[in-house]
Amino acid sequence: MRSWSGPDVPSIGGRAPELRIHDTRTNGLVASTPEGVARLYVCGITPYDATHIGHAATYLAFDLLQRQWLDRGLDVDYTQNVTDVDDPLLERANDTGEDWTALAEREIQMFREDMQALGMVAPRHYVGAVESIDLVAGLVERLGDSVYPVDGDLYFDVHADPDFGQVSGLDEETMLALFGERGGDPDRPGKKHPLDCLLWQAPREGEPSWDSRLGPGRPGWHIECAAIALEHLGTDFDVQGGGSDLVFPHHEMSASEATVATGEPFAQAFVHAGMVALDGEKMSKSKGNLELVSRLRENGHDPMAIRLALLGHHYRSNWEWTAADLASGEQRLDAWRAAVSRAETASGEELVGRLREVLADDLDAPTALSIVDAWAADEGTDASGGATVKDAVDALLGVRL
Ligand code: ZN
């Protein structure tokens, strides 16, 4: 397993309210009240490109979620994968002539550095696809009759899960369109149903493959996440998370595969972060409209200002990154730091209570920021309680002042 270290999250005492979070499957707020241990799976990157602001916004949403659970005194078992072999990575390496493993390792290292700089709590299990080949083969075997071959590859009959479609709630026409746009192969001849998804790909000329109980090949993407999540978190874990572009097909397919294999629900809630646009379109390498975290850091921007710029938007909203976001993050950071240094002993127990309340209501960071803004404008003269504002802002928002 790959290692990763993150910040220590201070404990601020007092009672944290019950968290309510938006669940895509039920399309409403659900209470998230694990006991003892909270189990979170967030889909990781395919390491062929540097971390952009859209990635950072997604991982920040789940960082806020973890901080809610930590504030309630829970142990958070956080698992994230990294798809360290997949078509986009091999294609990029092929285009540039670089060794694909060197490309992957460089981008993984850059991603971790960006996440650390932004103060993200580290995953306990950070697991690659390549090291999970045996896990994937074992899970494919458990799928039994719902697996069938197409020209040497193995496919999953999605309708083996009677609940298929319930995570996204989409109609079949929309599913087919999204499946085609997002890496699926609805038109491949020999499949029983156009939505059936790849489990295991037989070796291709010039591509890497691994020996397994299924024969040589490499894993499909959806089964990779299902296998890693089940191994490290078990079934029916608390939250499956990712960007909203993963709702379908990725999260739908992973959940169906896991449910058919185990007979149990995959996750209790499916939580999704909105998309960040740049220049009017979703950020993507192919369109060339990327704002990279590493570039902002290289240009001397304080990672905490970048974090504040992202926190200014609710995690579920779709929004467009502009220079004004960064400017307001920097302004806010200066104002908060000045207030904290003016009011060294100020505590603001009431402020902590209000912060907890708005964040427990589906992670409403923008309102949390305005509460701290009002305190900072007041020059931090409220010195009525125990915990300090500085610690609360660190613990709940991950902003180090
Ligand atoms: Zn995933």
Ligand 1 midpoint to CA 395 (Å): 27
**Cα 80 to ligand 1 centroid, rounded to whole Å:** 8
Instruction: Please give the distance, rounded to the nearest whole angstrom, from the Cα atom of residue 100 to the centre of ligand 1.
Output: 21
pLDDT interval class at 376 (50, 70, 90): confident
CA–centroid distance, 71 to ligand 1, in Å, is 26
Ligand 1 centre to CA of 225 (Å) is 5
pLDDT of residue 283: 79
| CA 342 to centroid of ligand 1, rounded, Å | 45
Mean pLDDT over residues 203-216, rounded? 95
Q: Which two tokens stand for residue 282?
A: 């979703």
pLDDT in tens, 97-117: 999 999 999 999 999 999 999
Residue 388: what pLDDT?
Answer: 77
Band of pLDDT at residue 345, cut at 50, 70 and 90? low
Cα(288) to centroid(ligand 1), Å: 24
What's the gap in Å between 222 CA and the centre of ligand 1? 6
Determine the distance separating the centroid of ligand 1 and the alpha carbon of 254, expressed in angstroms: 7
Contact between 211 and 202 under an 8 Å Cβ cutoff? The reply is no
Does residue 138 or residue 11 have the better pLDDT?
138
Cα 312 to ligand 1 centroid, rounded to whole Å: 26
Given a cut of 50, whether residue 386 has pLDDT beyond it is: no
Cα–ligand 1 centroid distance for 176 (angstroms):
19
pLDDT surpassing 90 at residue 193 = yes
Residue 49: what pLDDT? 82
The CA 203 to ligand 1 mean position distance, Å, reads 22
- Give backbone dihedrals phi and psi of 220, rounded to 5 degrees, phi first: -75, 165
- The model's pLDDT over 298-318, given as tens digits with 9 standing for 90+, comes to 999 999 999 999 999 999 999
- For ligand 1, the distance from its centroid to the CA atom of residue 85, given in whole angstroms, is 13
Residue spans in the chain of domains classed CATH 3.40.50.620: 19-278
Ligand 1 centroid vs 387 CA: distance in angstroms? 38
- Give the distance (Å) from ligand 1 centre to CA of residue 343: 44
pLDDT of residue 262: 98
At residue 66, what is the residue type?
A: Q
Is the pLDDT at 381 greater than 90? The verdict is: no
**Per-residue model confidence (pLDDT) at position 384:** 38
- So what's the pLDDT on residue 351? 87
Q: How many A from CA of 344 to the centre of ligand 1? A: 44
CB-CB contact of 124 with 81 (8 Å): no
Distance CA 147, CA 223 (A): 12
CATH topology of domain 323-397: Four Helix Bundle (Hemerythrin (Met), subunit A) (1.20.120)
Give the long-range contacts of residues 29-36, CB within 8 A, separation 24 or more: 29/362, 30/268, 30/269, 32/69, 32/238, 32/239, 32/268, 32/269, 34/69, 34/74, 34/238, 36/74, 36/75
Ligand 1 centroid – CA 346 distance (Å):
43
pLDDT range class, residue 185, cuts 50, 70, 90: very high
Confidence of residue 284 (pLDDT cuts 50, 70, 90): confident
For the domain made up of 19-278, the CATH class stated in words is: alpha beta
- What's the average model confidence in pLDDT over 227-235? 98
Distance between Cα 72 and ligand 1 center (Å):
27
Q: Which of 115, 12, 148 is nearest to 70 (CA)?
A: 12
* Range list for CATH 1.20.120.640 in the chain: 323-397
Q: How far is the CA of 77 from the centre of ligand 1 (A)?
A: 16
> What confidence category does residue 227 fall into, taking pLDDT thresholds of 50, 70 and 90?
very high
